[in-house]
Chains A and B, each alone.
Chain A
Amino acid sequence: MRWVFLRCLPLIGLIWGVIGPVHTQGADFSSVEQLLDAVQERSAGISSFSSRFVQTRYLSIFPQPVKFSGQLTMARPDRLRWEFLEPVPSVLLLDGRQGMKCDGDAPPRVFNLDADPVMRMVARQLLAWTSGTYRDVRENFDFDLIPGPGLGFTPKAGGAENVISRIEVIFEPETLQPLSVSINEPGGDHTLIVFAEYREITPSATLFNTCSTGP
């Protein structure tokens, strides 16, 4: 249902934001602000990239962790392709204000971010995350610095605290490239997404508005 997706978008935004490419020399960060400045500065110079990812969900209703893997493609300022490849293919596309979701053989479901004030708010957050301007989501999350280096995000009261208890992002110490995102839920369930094979690319426009990329 749409409301479910809507409520997920801030989370997705967080994920996109933290995997944004950040190339910098290895450094110690004494404060959140220092780390945020560094990430924002580096992300501004990258227009598009892709990365592989593995998502592992640790849910109490799954007898064992469930792994899904796929490919992420991002083109600044507002295009994204989040594609599961295994074990069950599915695609989520964002292209400016338009969006599309494709699950298996079901017809693609088109949606629009700008049509709804809630969605517009989410989209603003997304853009903030993807461009590395993390400070734009500070109205919804409290930030703290964690070893790694990394950032911790705790939802503020009245926000997404019913769905998320905490998000932790660990960066690669030398390049500040995100290595993993851990999303913790109030009931103890959590999800870990690990990124690899980051590379800058020049994606075609159809990648962000067509689910199928085959010939």
Chain B
Amino acid sequence: MIVKLSSEQGKDFGLSGWRLFIILGVTLLGVYSALSVKLDEDALDLLPGPEVRRQLVDLSRLGMVNRIFLSFDFTGPNQEVTADPNQLVAEIARVGSILSADPLFREVFYRLPEGYEFRLAGTFHEYLPVLVDGKDREAIRERLAPERLREFLVDDFLKLNSVAGLPLIGMIRRDPLDFTSIVLEKMKGLRGGMQISLWNGFFLSKDLKHGLLWLEGLETMTDTVNAVKVKQSIDRAVAGAPTGIRIRVVGPFAHTIANAEAIRHDLAKLLPIAMGILAVFLLAVFRSWRALVVVAVPFLAIPPAIALVGLFSPSISAMALGFGIVLLGIAVDFAVHIYYGFHRGQGFGPSLKTSVLMAAGTTIGVFVVLLFSQIPAHRQMALLALGGIGWALVLSWWLVPMVGRGCKQSPALIDNRLLCFVQKTHRWNLIRIGCWLVLLLAGLAGWGSLRYSGDLKSLDMPDDSISQNEEAFLRIWGSGVDSAFVVARGSSSAEALNVNDQVYFTLREEGGEGFQSLAPLLPGPARQNENLASWRLMQQENLPQLELELPVAAVDAGFTADAFAPFLDWFHREATLMDPGLLLESPLRPLLMSLYREVGTSEGAGEDEVLVATIVPETTGNRLALAGVARSLPEVSILSGGLWRQQVEKLLHYDLIRLSSLAALVIILLCWVYFRRLRLMAAALAPVVAALSAMVVFISLTDGLLNMMHVLMGIMVIGLSVDYGIFVVQACRSDHTAATFPAVSVCAVTTLSGFGVLAFAGHPALHALGVTVLVGIGAAWPTALLVTPALLPWEQEL
């Protein structure tokens, strides 16, 4: 039966020229502007609070976020156990030279430069007085003792006469007691907890079966396109590895690609099912292709919504864009209700208009609250959803009546049965309300056991090869535990290195062990001055005796009396402070640059900032030491996996509580303004409360961990559930249940089929998303139909 509309209604629902002009204008302008908005896949957008983000920015600026490790594992042609390091280093050098020339990477390190020992020995000898600390000076005093002095000189005599002794003359004359080796020993501090040994300049494991190469990607690797480029480059470089050498690659790009592939696989499998169910369902209910058009109408709001975000930010977070569009799905419900009005022959009357406006108002209220989130991506998402839902409402308001005007009216037999069931079974009201209350109580009970997991790893889905590579890497090279990063900063290298020295000594005083620090080799000016003052004291104490003893011992060992005049001259000389740049441009640069960076400020003000990191294995003892550093040096940043997760969780939990409370307040306020009666308000909010309770119960019965997906989709569920309640209450008040009850059911079924199938996804993020919707809407839908009417005052039902 074709719906016949009066001329007035037809005029009302017609698409006048100015409306068409506005729709076309806004849509085209939106498309044009949206194209200029840059998509950003920065993981920082997902982190709450400036401090947490600053910590990750620091790590990123130190090159640690985009760092990739290649572990070359010797297996032998037939899984032999005997390693041939020559094969390893040849392969490392081959791959390293290819990657060094690749513009995607920088700081490709796989060996120390040729002759590094010689150059280092010269530098360290020159600046030894400012590099040696108290323990080193004790070792020097011990070598200056007459007996040890003589032993060294005899050894020097033999070295000079050996086949390799020719080039030793200069070094032995300058440093007969091999003081330089004391400073060279400090290089071990750069190794920290990593099981690395230097083998002719290459970084090999102690059993010589594994070699290491590391590099830094120039582009962010949370971006799938960049990640794929990086993978292709590395694959090309490692292709052709000889038999018997396996190359394991460990880096963030592998996770990005694995997650993208897992999501793609899930969506390829589940989206056709969801779309199929949706289309079949809509066609079965409405028996018209128009229904499909109606569902699509709100999505015309996407380009203007993106353009709106573009007005406030040059780029939009990929995560915000994805979820913002998903949240726009809420607006589909408005279109469905309007269309259903025509489908049932009731048109788009004042009561339905009020319901749609009220539902949109509460949804918009929720997203306004989300604008105050500490997470940038959430704010962008809220803005996108706000603009999108607002414009989708306008589109639905103007376009859907035009589509619905010519639709066929379907029999209302089922609606009437349902209506009768609801209205005639008052004796079940108490049972329905009782069940609802039980769900609320269960939700309240479960709320206390929930914990927010800020660990983004819980939403990560690495494939088996990534997990195996990372486990093998930790086993071979690491101490098997996570590491914490202590970042000292300053406006100059001197300032940052001075703070870094304090970090080093505090860690040592607090019992820290196995940490990787620049401090032993690159002390700040303050400590260099202290070392220099102590050196001068030692000079005064030892020089007179040395000047007497050395010539005699030299002659006894077979040298001339003045053979070691260069050494005495050096010992006499007034030492100077060492410029950090000297060491940073030395052969040790590869190791030093892992911990030291001169960068622009995180705020982009253009001023240089120097960051110096200390890497601390997170053992039980070191955790205590880190706590000591945090107490003593509040100006340094400590980024420990565990502490960081706690901090993120605390902030997100705070955000969750604060925003949820605000959103609840906004919804309650709006409902109160509209309904003005507590019982009506309770009836309208019953589906929301049921949805939240069901989600809490479900999560607490599973792992008890709320993650970001739960929260984001929880917002959507709240937005939809509130609408269900409002539509049903308004319908009951205006006796429009014949159109509203099935409309709510259509909305619920489309949401469940669209998102609920994602509960069967393998990727944890999609799974969490699907489960949240499935459980939330699964509870809100029956509550709206069965409990909301039961909560209404008696006279409303009549």
Report A's interface with B, CB cutoff 8 A.
1-8, 11-12, 55, 57, 59-63, 66, 68, 82, 84, 88, 90, 92, 97, 101, 103-104, 112, 114-119, 163-164, 183, 185, 187, 189, 191
In the complex, whether B664 has a CB less than 8 A from a CB of chain A is no
> How many chain B residues touch the partner (CB < 8 A)?
33
> Shortest beta-carbon distance, A136 to chain B, in Å?
20
CA distance A19 to B180 in the complex (A): 37
Cβ–Cβ contact A62 & B117, under 8 A: no
In the complex, whether B200 has a CB less than 8 A from a CB of chain A is yes
Cβ–Cβ contact B560 & A61, under 8 A: yes
In the complex, whether B260 has a CB less than 8 A from a CB of chain A is no
In the complex, whether B167 has a CB less than 8 A from a CB of chain A is yes
Known contacts: A117-B114, A185-B166. The answer to whether A66 contacts B86 by CB under 8 A is no
Known contacts: A61-B560, A117-B93. The answer to whether A4 contacts B158 by CB under 8 A is no
Cβ–Cβ contact B121 & A3, under 8 A: yes
Cβ–Cβ contact A103 & B158, under 8 A: yes
Known contacts: A61-B173, A115-B85. The answer to whether A8 contacts B164 by CB under 8 A is yes
Cβ-neighbour of A57 out of B86, B161, B201 (below 8 A): B161
Closest chain A residue to B154 by CB distance? A88
Beyond known contacts A4-B165, A5-B164, A8-B167: 5 more, CB 8 A cutoff:
A4-B168, A8-B166, A57-B160, A61-B169, A63-B558
Cβ–Cβ contact A4 & B167, under 8 A: yes
CA distance A158 to B761 in the complex (A): 65
A-B contact count (CB 8 A): 94
Cβ–Cβ contact A92 & B164, under 8 A: yes
Known contacts: A2-B117, A97-B86. The answer to whether A116 contacts B200 by CB under 8 A is yes
Cβ-neighbour of B199 out of A5, A6, A115 (below 8 A): A115
B563 cross-chain contacts in A, Cβ below 8 A: 61
A7 cross-chain contacts in B, Cβ below 8 A: 118, 167
30 A-B pairs whose Cβ atoms sit less than 8 Å apart in the complex:
A1-B117, A1-B181, A3-B117, A3-B121, A4-B167, A6-B115, A8-B163, A8-B165, A8-B167, A11-B166, A12-B163, A12-B164, A60-B560, A61-B560, A61-B563, A62-B560, A84-B161, A84-B162, A90-B162, A92-B164, A103-B158, A112-B85, A115-B200, A115-B202, A117-B93, A118-B115, A163-B167, A185-B166, A185-B169, A189-B169
Closest chain A residue to B180 by CB distance? A1
A68 cross-chain contacts in B, Cβ below 8 A: 161
A189 cross-chain contacts in B, Cβ below 8 A: 169
A82 cross-chain contacts in B, Cβ below 8 A: 163
Cβ-neighbour of B200 out of A59, A88, A112, A164 (below 8 A): A112
Cβ–Cβ contact B560 & A55, under 8 A: no
In the complex, whether B418 has a CB less than 8 A from a CB of chain A is no
B181 cross-chain contacts in A, Cβ below 8 A: 1
Known contacts: A57-B160, A92-B163. The answer to whether A66 contacts B117 by CB under 8 A is no
Cβ–Cβ contact A55 & B161, under 8 A: yes
CA distance A92 to B121 in the complex (A): 24
B398 cross-chain contacts in A, Cβ below 8 A: none
Main DSSP-derived SS at the A contact region: mixed
CA distance A2 to B159 in the complex (A): 12
Closest chain B residue to A189 by CB distance? B169
Cβ–Cβ contact A115 & B86, under 8 A: yes
Nearest 9 CB-CB pairs, A to B? A61-B563, A116-B200, A3-B117, A115-B200, A5-B164, A8-B164, A114-B86, A3-B118, A163-B167
In B100-138, which residues have CB < 8 Å from any A CB? Answer: 114-115, 117-118, 121
Interface string of B165-205 (1 = CB under 8 A from A): 11111010100000001000000000000000001111000
B559 cross-chain contacts in A, Cβ below 8 A: 61-63
Cβ–Cβ contact B114 & A118, under 8 A: yes
In the complex, whether B400 has a CB less than 8 A from a CB of chain A is no
B249 cross-chain contacts in A, Cβ below 8 A: none
> Shortest beta-carbon distance, A177 to chain B, in Å?
21
In the complex, whether B89 has a CB less than 8 A from a CB of chain A is yes
Interface string of B544-565 (1 = CB under 8 A from A): 0000000000010011100100
B114 cross-chain contacts in A, Cβ below 8 A: 116-118
B168 cross-chain contacts in A, Cβ below 8 A: 4
Report B's interface with A, CB cutoff 8 A.
85-86, 89-90, 93, 114-115, 117-118, 121, 158, 160-169, 171, 173, 181, 199-202, 555, 558-560, 563
A116 cross-chain contacts in B, Cβ below 8 A: 89, 114, 200-201
> Shortest beta-carbon distance, B292 to chain A, in Å?
68
A104 cross-chain contacts in B, Cβ below 8 A: 158
CA distance A6 to B114 in the complex (A): 11
Cβ–Cβ contact A183 & B162, under 8 A: no
Cβ–Cβ contact A62 & B166, under 8 A: no
B121 cross-chain contacts in A, Cβ below 8 A: 1, 3
A119 cross-chain contacts in B, Cβ below 8 A: 200
Most buried by B among A4, A61, A118: A61
CA distance A104 to B200 in the complex (A): 24
A5 cross-chain contacts in B, Cβ below 8 A: 164
Known contacts: A3-B118, A114-B86, A117-B93. The answer to whether A59 contacts B160 by CB under 8 A is yes
Cβ–Cβ contact A4 & B200, under 8 A: no
> Shortest beta-carbon distance, A62 to chain B, in Å?
7
CA distance A115 to B199 in the complex (A): 8
CA distance A183 to B171 in the complex (A): 19
> Shortest beta-carbon distance, B661 to chain A, in Å?
65
> Shortest beta-carbon distance, A87 to chain B, in Å?
9
> Shortest beta-carbon distance, A91 to chain B, in Å?
10
Closest chain A residue to B561 by CB distance? A63
Known contacts: A8-B163, A60-B560, A61-B559. The answer to whether A88 contacts B158 by CB under 8 A is yes
CA distance A9 to B364 in the complex (A): 79
Known contacts: A61-B559, A63-B560, A119-B200. The answer to whether A3 contacts B115 by CB under 8 A is yes
Most buried by B among A7, A101, A116, A163: A116
> Shortest beta-carbon distance, A63 to chain B, in Å?
5
A114 cross-chain contacts in B, Cβ below 8 A: 86, 90
A97 cross-chain contacts in B, Cβ below 8 A: 86
CA distance A118 to B112 in the complex (A): 12
CA distance A22 to B181 in the complex (A): 44
A11 cross-chain contacts in B, Cβ below 8 A: 166
CA distance A82 to B539 in the complex (A): 42
Cβ–Cβ contact A191 & B166, under 8 A: yes
Cβ–Cβ contact A163 & B166, under 8 A: yes
Cβ–Cβ contact B86 & A4, under 8 A: no
A84 cross-chain contacts in B, Cβ below 8 A: 161-163
B558 cross-chain contacts in A, Cβ below 8 A: 62-63, 66
Closest chain B residue to A101 by CB distance? B164
CA distance A82 to B163 in the complex (A): 8
Closest chain B residue to A1 by CB distance? B117
Most buried by A among B121, B169, B558: B169
Most buried by A among B158, B171, B200: B200
Cβ–Cβ contact A88 & B161, under 8 A: yes
CA distance A101 to B162 in the complex (A): 11
B93 cross-chain contacts in A, Cβ below 8 A: 117
CA distance A88 to B558 in the complex (A): 13
Closest chain A residue to B86 by CB distance? A114
A183 cross-chain contacts in B, Cβ below 8 A: 166
> Shortest beta-carbon distance, A185 to chain B, in Å?
7
Cβ–Cβ contact A103 & B162, under 8 A: yes
CA distance A8 to B169 in the complex (A): 12
CA distance A112 to B90 in the complex (A): 13
> Shortest beta-carbon distance, B169 to chain A, in Å?
7
Cβ-neighbour of B161 out of A2, A66, A101, A112 (below 8 A): A66
> Shortest beta-carbon distance, B385 to chain A, in Å?
59
Closest chain B residue to A87 by CB distance? B161
CA distance A12 to B164 in the complex (A): 8
A55 cross-chain contacts in B, Cβ below 8 A: 161
B173 cross-chain contacts in A, Cβ below 8 A: 61
> Shortest beta-carbon distance, A113 to chain B, in Å?
9
CA distance A20 to B770 in the complex (A): 81
